[in-house]
Amino acid sequence: MRNFTNVHDIGDLRTAVAEALEVKANRFGYKNLGENKTLLMLFFNSSLRTRLSTQKAAMNLGMNVMVLDVNQGAWKLETERGVIMDGDKPEHLLEAIPVMGCYCDVIGVRSFARFESKADDYEEKIINQFIRYSGRPVFSMEAATRHPLQSFADLITIEEYKTVERPKVVMTWAPHPKALPQAVPNSFAEWMNAAGYDFVITHPHGYELAPEFVGNAKVEYDQDKALEGADFVYAKNWSAYMDPNYGKVISTDRSWTVTAEKMALTNNAYFMHCLPVRRNMIVSDDVIEGPRSLVIPEAANREISAQVVLKRILEGLQ
Ligand code: CP
């Protein structure tokens, strides 16, 4: 594997999950792979899980790790070509990227959708520049349209907990006060479709995701109906994708909050969320704290998904 930005980069999902479970049982078994190799983790946005789990995964593999928060202590970066740089950004990404590439062997990038240009976001302008100009393997730690390390961890978690071959997985929109990117729901949809589960997406009208991510999923606008018989409920907020509301909050309807009453409609489903989560907006306290909540095992599997991706990238450098 050279770069990792979407489900296609990981190849066959059964093989990837099998490798993940093997790594999970033997996470220090590949310590030599990363010897004298340096990972640079670059954050344009905040993180708790991605930062810690990816760093831990790299350490499990024997790598050295450098972390740079671009907005805290680094020069502010201009990302547009052709701009007269007479403002507050003293360095251009087009010099910064190859310079960063000189100091490391692998680069992880977190760069969320900016909601300034839908085209720029959906062309993945930032992470693609790292792939093009760094000279190093690059993996996404959540980009504008996808969060593949999260989705891979979600897939591992579902495979660990499912009791039928093809579970019903329902991704439900839930309210949130701020405008959040579509990266997590897009990515989750992409991976669930690839896994071949019985996959349903439910959201209010106006929150339709990009068709290339919805794929063959069933879209059901009645949340109660969607939840019937679900084995897994994956809650997430996202802002509108459809024009003219791209990147906007168009509803905060709390009747979409995942409560015990909503979970009672399911097949005793497990509850999932990528975290961080706004309690009693997205999900009620009792559901997230309940025995069917998988939010902690899901977060724990972030270390495993990151380790498989780094392992494969390192194997490609041998
Ligand atoms: N789920 C996730 O990516 O968490 P962080 O934003 O804290 O990294």
SS3 per residue for 43-87: ECCCCCHHHHHHHHHHHHCCCEEEEEECCCCCCCEECCCCCCCCC
Same domain, 38 and 165: no
Alpha-carbon distance 8 to 6, whole Å? 6
Residue with tokens 């509850």: 271
pTM passes above 0.95? yes
96: containing domain? 1-144+301-316
| ipTM of predicted assembly, 2 dp | 0.99
User: Which residues lie below 8 Å from residue 185, measured CB to CB, with a gap of 6+?
Assistant: 171, 173, 201, 209, 213, 236, 238
Same domain, 134 and 156: no
Ranges in the chain, pLDDT < 50: none
| Ligand 1 mean position, distance from CA 153 (Å) | 12
> Is 230 in contact with 179 (CB distance < 8 Å)?
no
Give me the pLDDT at residue 73, please. Answer: 82
Numbered residues of the known binding site for N(2)-succinyl-L-ornithine: 142, 176, 236, 278
Same domain, 70 and 132: yes
Give me the pLDDT at residue 318, please. Answer: 85
Ligand 1: residue of 51, 178, 234, 275 to mutate (most ligand atoms within 8 A of CB) is 275
Same domain, 138 and 242: no
CB of 45 sitting under 6 A from ligand 1? no
CATH of the domain at 232: 3.40.50.1370
Give me the pLDDT at residue 138, please. Answer: 98
Same domain, 97 and 162: no
Give me the pLDDT at residue 148, please. Answer: 98
Same domain, 172 and 68: no
Same domain, 127 and 158: no
Give me the pLDDT at residue 233, please. Answer: 98
3-state secondary structure of 291: coil
Give me the pLDDT at residue 63, please. Answer: 98
Residues 98-116 have pLDDT tens digits of 999 999 999 999 999 999 9
Same domain, 105 and 191: no
Same domain, 156 and 106: no
Same domain, 215 and 312: no
Task: Indicate the number of domains in the chain.
Answer: 2
CB of 49 sitting under 6 A from ligand 1? yes
Same domain, 178 and 102: no
| Ligand 1 mean position, distance from CA 45 (Å) | 10
Give me the pLDDT at residue 72, please. Answer: 87
Alpha-carbon distance 45 to 71, whole Å? 8
Give me the pLDDT at residue 225, please. Answer: 98
Same domain, 140 and 8: yes
Alpha-carbon distance 73 to 218, whole Å? 45
Alpha-carbon distance 246 to 242, whole Å? 5
